[in-house]
Structure 1
Amino acid sequence: MINNYPYLTLLLVLLWPWSALQAAPAIQDWQMANGARVLFVEAPDLPMVDVRVVFDAGSARDGDQLGLASITARLLTDGAGDWDADTLAERLEAVGASISASVDRDMASVAGRSLTDPSAYQIWKETMAAVLSQPTFAEADLARLRENRLVGLRRDQQRPGTIAQRALYRQIFGDHPYAEDPVGTIESVAALTREDLVAFHERYYVAANAVVAIVGALDREQADALAERLTSGLPSGTRPPPLPPVPALQEGRFEALDFPSSQTHVMIGQPGMRRGDPDYYPLHVGNHILGGGGLVSLLAEEIREKRGLAYSIYSAFVPLAEIGPFVMGLQTRADQADQARRLVLGTVERFLAEGPSEQELEAAIKNITGGFPLRTASNRQIVEYLAVIGFYRLPLDHLDRFAERVASVTGAQIQDAFARRIDPDRLAIIKVGPVPSAPSEPLAWADD
């Protein structure tokens, strides 16, 4: 299945360490002759292997054909080589294996899991190789998926949270490829053809554009053979050029979208940080204090606990290959939306001016470094980490030193990083809900 809204969920998973007390598994890293990069962690305890092959083929590569990357990935498992969707599913089910695909703004990912029993392993390996390099993109499958996608897009027009999120990204990113949602639009999806999918696959699903992450009960030689088989049917190709830089917002932006609901969705944001950013750790720890730490965050204290204006409120940095968004969001009663918005912005301004207290910093560091115990880190999670490290070219010790780097963050570093990244006068603000007949002052940032 395709998950087109992985950003916040994936962020929460990928920014946490395996354990504050134990070193991360040793990562082996090599380049194949065809141009693909391989990252491998040997995990002999379970007779299984997890693989994730990622390509720089996310929705930022759609151009003016919005939804193209998503539809292409979605159809990979609907027919490949000599097998249709039913036959593919039967082959995998018979040996207890799985293959799935997903897309976000940066990457397309094909994930697989199998037992290492020779008969099951061979069937899964050959099936996944065909899915990667020989998708059929049958007209009937495209027609069915297109209709399902159009139904979903029409349904999204009745979801105020989805409307708010898409409007915020457009305000933050403007003409940048990150502005549009991976699922596309009704008009763009209706216009996609099989030839478009074939051309996209031929351009982006190439070995030079691939990172192969492997975790499982294999040795280095076996892992190399697996990576070779999975990518052997791909043309060598070339990597696409880098995405354009994300420009900073030059002024505050406000958009109120009328929607007949009792709750108003408020979303606020601006460009934040990219993967591998030098301010990554201060911004991550600071955001945990501001709004990323759930009920113990400053935003939750001000908005939920003290005033009961919202059941939940959050803030998050979503780092991407280029600068991704910093986002804050809540939903509240329509008649309380302006008050909640002013309180959010006032809290941000105070955090920028004062920084975190020693108690807040200490609690955040303990929560982050102790919140993801080793027993919850499955091979499937580890292979996700490897894919991200490889795709974004992060240091191989990124996870091994995560806890150490988090623990070294100071309040002064947080205040400095936030002051350089977050400007309350240049935030994009979206409200989706009933628009009053006498509109309130849109840019009254904080309480009097």
Structure 2
Amino acid sequence: MKKIITLLVLICMTHVSQAMPQIQKWQTKKGASVYFVETHNIPMVDVQITFNAAGSKDGKKYGIAKLTNALLDTAAAGYDAQQIATELENIGAILSNDSLKDMAIIKLRTLSYEKQLQKSITILSQVIGLPDFKEKEVNRLKKQFLLLLKNKKQQADEISSDALYEAIYKNHPYGKSPYGTNTSINNISRADIIEFYKKYYVVKNMSIAIIGDLTKKQAIKIANKIDNGLQEGVKVANLIKPQKIKKSTKNYIKFDGKQSHILLGQLSIKRGHKDYWALYLANHILGGSGFSSIITQEVREKRGLSYSAHSYISPMQETGVWVFGLQTKTQNSKKALDVLQNTINKFHQQGITSSQLKKAKSNMINSAPLRADSNKKILGYLAMIGFYDLPLDYLNTINKNIKNIKLKQINKVIKKYLQPDNLQYVVVGTQDIFAKK
């Protein structure tokens, strides 16, 4: 047993140097899409099952998707959480799960030796196909969620993030925290969870990603075993499109502390959009490239107003977000926000230069090998390609897409998508910098 754990730890720490992977795709008999990469560098197999069953499917029962997902490995096929954990430990396998705004995830990492592989896949199949949802586990996890919600209220970054998403999305499902609210969590019953599971944890709502030390024949068997344990079900309807933001709002939340957490945000684009890589490069230059980004240079390096200043885009099934943020000492809040606003406005008005584009392209292309230097990273891409129905050559064409972006194109994208006049503002701290004096 100790040898298995030692081997697993060493393998988990190993990064694999390899060319961009060749992805194979097929469908199970019930219709689940499978994405597979065969690689024999290390004796490991990684599996990720992704369901369209996350927070955006909560309806009015906020938090039910995350609660359902968290309950999967607490009891299944007559085994309790401790028995499941012991069985996994005995074969050196690791099972994890999570539920975000878009996707609900179950991951397995196991040794590729036949005994360990078969046993771990059996456990995985039972966890997703035969969850017990025991009443005592439901109540236990509900208490955990309530404690987590209490803790979130004591963290300025969590408060600001939740408030910004609500300001941007209003009543759209993306505007609600996947963790729910005290009221919604208290009101969710075991029957509600079972109903949610039966509707969303079905083959038509699932994709499977597999990478590792096995053949396609073995991968087909694994996918079929997972597939056979679930109902075929019905593919869920697409999300509604978020409403366009028509005006800026300024939101202040009082929070004791020595710093202000400042976030600005707006809608951006959905995953797979034709303008994604141009917008990604634009954000990379503006605030997504660390110390060399424009926002960091203006806010931190030139003026020393913040240790952390950044921006990011987060495309999802439907229109995602473009977020700009910083943390600063309370007394610097107004000045730091002014600099951030001015930086965004100037970026929108003037766009970027050819030298900035050239540098950003070089950074992205030179870092290409890091995208696929481990099975874990490749698994993430496989799951993303499957869930968002991206082209099979997505990973292999990133560099080509980046190289083909022209200066005129990226500046046009900046003008089109960046909306300084419609930004949503959130400030969390002790100073209301929006108050009229």
In structure 2, what is the equivalent of residue 387 of structure 1? 383
Distance apart, 1:371 and its partner CA = 2.3
Any idea what SS the aligned residue of 1:75 has? helix
| Separation (CA, whole Å) in 2 of partners of 1:42 and 1:285 | 31
In structure 1, what is the equivalent of residue 314 of structure 2? 318
User: 1:35 aligned to 18, 31, 38, which one?
Assistant: 31
Distance apart, 1:92 and its partner CA = 0.5
Distance apart, 1:336 and its partner CA = 1.6
Any idea what SS the aligned residue of 1:244 has? coil
- The worse-fitting range, judged by mean Cα deviation, of 253-262 and 88-97 is 253-262
Deviations 1:293-320 (CA, angstroms, capped at 9, x unpaired)? 0110000000001111110111000000
Structure 2: which amino acid aligns with 1:108? A
| Separation (CA, whole Å) in 1 of partners of 2:34 and 2:433 | 59
Distance apart, 1:387 and its partner CA = 0.5
Query: Please, what is the CA RMSD of the aligned residues?
Result: 1.6
| Separation (CA, whole Å) in 1 of partners of 2:254 and 2:41 | 55
Deviations 1:51-77 (CA, angstroms, capped at 9, x unpaired)? 001010010000011110101111111
**1:178 maps onto 2:174 in alignment:** yes
Distance apart, 1:372 and its partner CA = 4.7
Deviations 1:21-48 (CA, angstroms, capped at 9, x unpaired)? x852111111111111111111122222
Contact kept in structure 2, 1:23 and 1:400, CA below 8 Å: no
User: 2:205 aligned to 205, 209, 212, which one?
Assistant: 209
Contact kept in structure 1, 2:156 and 2:261, CA below 8 Å: yes
Identity %: 36
Contact kept in structure 2, 1:35 and 1:209, CA below 8 Å: no
Deviations 1:359-379 (CA, angstroms, capped at 9, x unpaired)? 221221111122253597211
| Separation (CA, whole Å) in 2 of partners of 1:396 and 1:430 | 39
| Separation (CA, whole Å) in 1 of partners of 2:413 and 2:419 | 11
Distance apart, 1:358 and its partner CA = 2.0
Unaligned runs of 5+ in 1: 1-17, 442-448
Any idea what SS the aligned residue of 1:430 has? strand
In structure 2, what is the equivalent of residue 369 of structure 1? 365
| Separation (CA, whole Å) in 1 of partners of 2:122 and 2:260 | 50
Deviations 1:404-448 (CA, angstroms, capped at 9, x unpaired)? 21122222211111211111110100111113599258xxxxxxx
| Separation (CA, whole Å) in 2 of partners of 1:401 and 1:196 | 43
Contact kept in structure 1, 2:371 and 2:378, CA below 8 Å: no
Mapping 1:250-289, distance limit 5 Å = 250-289=246-285
In structure 2, what is the equivalent of residue 114 of structure 1? 110
| Separation (CA, whole Å) in 2 of partners of 1:244 and 1:439 | 35
| Separation (CA, whole Å) in 2 of partners of 1:210 and 1:26 | 22
Contact kept in structure 1, 2:19 and 2:369, CA below 8 Å: no
- The worse-fitting range, judged by mean Cα deviation, of 61-70 and 182-191 is 182-191
| Separation (CA, whole Å) in 2 of partners of 1:146 and 1:180 | 18
| Separation (CA, whole Å) in 2 of partners of 1:404 and 1:345 | 33
**1:434 maps onto 2:430 in alignment:** yes
Contact kept in structure 2, 1:34 and 1:207, CA below 8 Å: yes
In structure 2, what is the equivalent of residue 407 of structure 1? 403
Distance apart, 1:181 and its partner CA = 1.0
Unaligned runs of 5+ in 2: 1-15
TM-score, normalisation: structure 2: 0.94
| Separation (CA, whole Å) in 1 of partners of 2:372 and 2:230 | 35
Mapping 1:2-401, distance limit 5 Å = 23-374=19-370, 377-401=373-397
| Separation (CA, whole Å) in 1 of partners of 2:174 and 2:379 | 25
Contact kept in structure 1, 2:112 and 2:213, CA below 8 Å: yes
Contact kept in structure 2, 1:165 and 1:267, CA below 8 Å: yes
Distance apart, 1:216 and its partner CA = 1.2
Contact kept in structure 1, 2:345 and 2:420, CA below 8 Å: yes
| Separation (CA, whole Å) in 2 of partners of 1:239 and 1:23 | 35
In structure 2, relative to structure 1, the CA distance for the partners of 1:272 and 1:438 (3 Å cut) is: closer
Any idea what SS the aligned residue of 2:20 has? coil
| Separation (CA, whole Å) in 2 of partners of 1:45 and 1:284 | 32
